[in-house]
Amino acid sequence: MDTQTKLDILSRDAQYDLSCACGTKNPAEHRKRNATGSGWLYPTTTASGGAGIILKTLLGNRCVNDCKYCPLRNDQDYRPVALSPKEMASFFYEFQSKRPLLGLFISSAVLGCPDHTMALLIETARLLRVQHRYRGYIHMKIIPGCSKESIDEALKYASALSLNIETPGAEHFGKLSHAKNYEADILQPLTYLASRTSKGSRYEKVHTSSQFIVGASDEMDKEILLYTSRMYKELHFGRLYFSAYQRGLGDHSIPGEHVIERPAQLELFDELGQPESSHASLNREHRLYQADWLLRRYGFAYEDLLFGENGNLNLDRDPKLVWAQANPQFYPLSIKKAPRDALLRVPGLGPTYVNRIVKSRRSSPLSNLEDLKLPISVLEKARPFLTI
Look at the alpha carbons of 331, 335, 336, 339 in this order and tell me if their dihedral is positive or negative: positive
8-state DSSP, 368: S
pLDDT at 73: 83
Say yes or no to pLDDT of 9 above 90: no
CATH H-level superfamily of 327-387: Photosystem II 12 kDa extrinsic protein (1.10.150.320)
In which band, very low, low, confident or very high, does the pLDDT at 114 lie, cut at 50, 70 and 90? very high
CA distances from 108 to 50, 168, 217, 230, 294 (A): 27, 23, 23, 27, 32
Say yes or no to pLDDT of 165 above 50: yes
Say yes or no to pLDDT of 275 above 90: no
Domain borders along the chain are: 3-322, 327-387
Say yes or no to pLDDT of 364 above 90: no
C-alpha 303, offset from chain centre? 23
What's the rounded Cα separation, in Å, for the pair 37 and 7? 7
pLDDT at 386: 93
pLDDT at 76: 78
- What number of helices (H) and strands (E) belong to the chain? 12, 10
Q: Can you say whether residue 94 is alpha, beta or left, with left for phi > 0 and alpha for psi between -120 and 50 degrees?
A: alpha
What's the rounded Cα separation, in Å, for the pair 348 and 374? 10
Average pLDDT over residues 225-235: 97
Cβ atoms of 292 and 226 closer than 8 Å: no
Say yes or no to pLDDT of 39 above 60: no
Residue that wins the pLDDT comparison between 256 and 200:
200
Dump pLDDT digits (tens) for 52-98.
677 888 898 888 998 888 877 888 777 788 899 999 999 999 988 88
pLDDT at 51: 55
Residue that wins the pLDDT comparison between 247 and 156:
156
In which band, very low, low, confident or very high, does the pLDDT at 144 lie, cut at 50, 70 and 90? very high
Dump pLDDT digits (tens) for 210-223.
999 998 899 999 99
Average pLDDT over residues 125-147: 96
Q: Determine what percent of the chain is predicted with pLDDT higher than 90.
A: 59
Cβ atoms of 73 and 28 closer than 8 Å: no
Pairing verdict, β 40-45 and 51-58: antiparallel
In which band, very low, low, confident or very high, does the pLDDT at 280 lie, cut at 50, 70 and 90? confident
Residues paired with 51 in a beta bridge: 45
What's the CATH class of domain 3-322?
A: alpha beta
What's the rounded Cα separation, in Å, for the pair 299 and 323? 13
10 Å CB burial of residue 166 (0-12, 13-18, 19+) is buried
In which band, very low, low, confident or very high, does the pLDDT at 258 lie, cut at 50, 70 and 90? very low
What's the rounded Cα separation, in Å, for the pair 121 and 160? 13
pLDDT at 268: 38
The rounded mean pLDDT for the chain is 83
What's the rounded Cα separation, in Å, for the pair 80 and 61? 6
pLDDT at 100: 77
In which band, very low, low, confident or very high, does the pLDDT at 16 lie, cut at 50, 70 and 90? low
Cβ atoms of 45 and 239 closer than 8 Å: no
In which band, very low, low, confident or very high, does the pLDDT at 290 lie, cut at 50, 70 and 90? very high
